[in-house]
Amino acid sequence: MGAELCLMRPWHARLVIFTDLDGTLLDPVTYSWQAAKPAMEACARMDIPVILNSSKTGAEMARLARQMDIAWPYIVENGGGICFPKESPFQCMEDDTPGRSLDHIAIGISYDRLCEALLQISAETGIGIRGFSQMSPDEIISLTGLDRKDARRAAQRQYDEPFLIENTLPDALEQIRKTAACMGLQVTPGGRFYHLHGKFDKGKAVEWLTARLKPFGDIRRVGIGDSENDIPMLEAVDIPVWVAPPEKPAPAIDGLLRSGKTSSGPKAWNQVVLSLIRERYSL
Ligand SMILES: [Mg+2]
């Protein structure tokens, strides 16, 4: 992709933190990040980027980033795109349009193409499929349990189309997967829905961003996650950190740091990040 990062002010951090949200920086039950606040404040003091990397939409993440007072770029929809807030110290410039900064970069395939592809998959396989774009706000609210405003934000999708399979044929998913693969697309099971998206993941977005951050200094990349869809991100960084509860098996990744037996989620995030800052900055 023909785009580079421009630094809008001096920046000399030695760590960059890529982090998942639900179950990692946000408590899985209360969605609070209070337990991670001391480490978040230390990152702000040391000018260490905290780059949110989640399956949430840009609209959902823009709101969270504002609430957390984070102005760094953030990665949306499982690596589908990267958003650059106006106040971010890093702005993204198109190579061929000097001086023009982009508010986001698409790594995935556009949403319109995904919605068309889903209709085509349904027609080709004869399987009843219902995508998010075909659902009314009330239907999304009843399926997700979100309130109206959050449901509206969750529906503002750009790179990933959640869907339900209406027939219960045993091989329906397999047929959908095969047809999607012929179109260069992937199907991933999520908590409530299946997801149709291009061939990208959280790790590819981390690679895109860090390739462009590296010229700015000797940066160690930390990745923090708690689920299967975080594994590509953990494999793409220098310091992978796993903060799932101890009963959840950790993935086999070289050098994986694990939170202690008594902490997980934002509490573990806080401990691990504070200790990495102490180590890296010899505090
Ligand atoms: Mg998670």
Report the pLDDT value the prediction gives residue 196, as an integer from 0 to 100.
93
Note residues around ion ligand 1 (Cβ under 5 angstroms): 20, 22-23, 226-227
Report the pLDDT value the prediction gives residue 233, as an integer from 0 to 100.
97
Q: Which one of the listed residues 20, 27, 160, 226 is annotated catalytic?
A: 20
The residues pairing with 92 across neighbouring beta strands, listed in sequence order, are: 5, 102
Cα(244) to centroid(ligand 1), Å: 8
Report the pLDDT value the prediction gives residue 69, as an integer from 0 to 100.
95
* CATH superfamily entry for domain 111-197: Putative mannosyl-3-phosphoglycerate phosphatase; domain 2 (3.30.980.20)
CA quadruple 220, 221, 225, 230: dihedral positive or negative?
A: negative
What mean pLDDT do residues 17-25 have? 96
What mean pLDDT do residues 190-219 have? 89
CATH of 3-107+201-280, one of 3.40.50.1000, 2.60.40.3880, 2.60.40.420, 3.40.50.10480: 3.40.50.1000
Percent of the chain with pLDDT over 90: 66
Q: Which residue has the tokens 């556009």?
A: 110
Task: Give the helix/strand (H/E) hosting 58.
Answer: helix 58-68
Task: Give the helix/strand (H/E) hosting 141.
Answer: helix 137-144
Count CB neighbours of 242 within 10 A.
25
Cα(20) to centroid(ligand 1), Å: 6
Catalytic residue at 20?
A: yes
Cα(130) to centroid(ligand 1), Å: 25
Residue-wise pLDDT tens digits, 223-273: 999 998 899 999 999 999 999 999 889 999 999 999 877 889 999 999 999
Cα(54) to centroid(ligand 1), Å: 8
Task: Give the helix/strand (H/E) hosting 18.
Answer: strand 15-19
Is it the case that residue 1 has pLDDT exceeding 60?
no
Terminal-residue alpha carbon distance, the chain: 39
Residue-wise pLDDT tens digits, 55-107: 899 999 999 999 999 999 999 998 999 999 999 999 988 776 666 778 888 88
Cα(53) to centroid(ligand 1), Å: 10
CA quadruple 254, 221, 223, 132: dihedral positive or negative?
A: negative
Cα(226) to centroid(ligand 1), Å: 5
Q: Which residue ranges make up each domain of the chain?
A: 3-107+201-280, 111-197
Cα(31) to centroid(ligand 1), Å: 11
Q: What HEC string does 24-44 produce?
A: CCECCCCCCCHHHHHHHHHHH
Count CB neighbours of 234 within 10 A.
27
Cα(234) to centroid(ligand 1), Å: 12
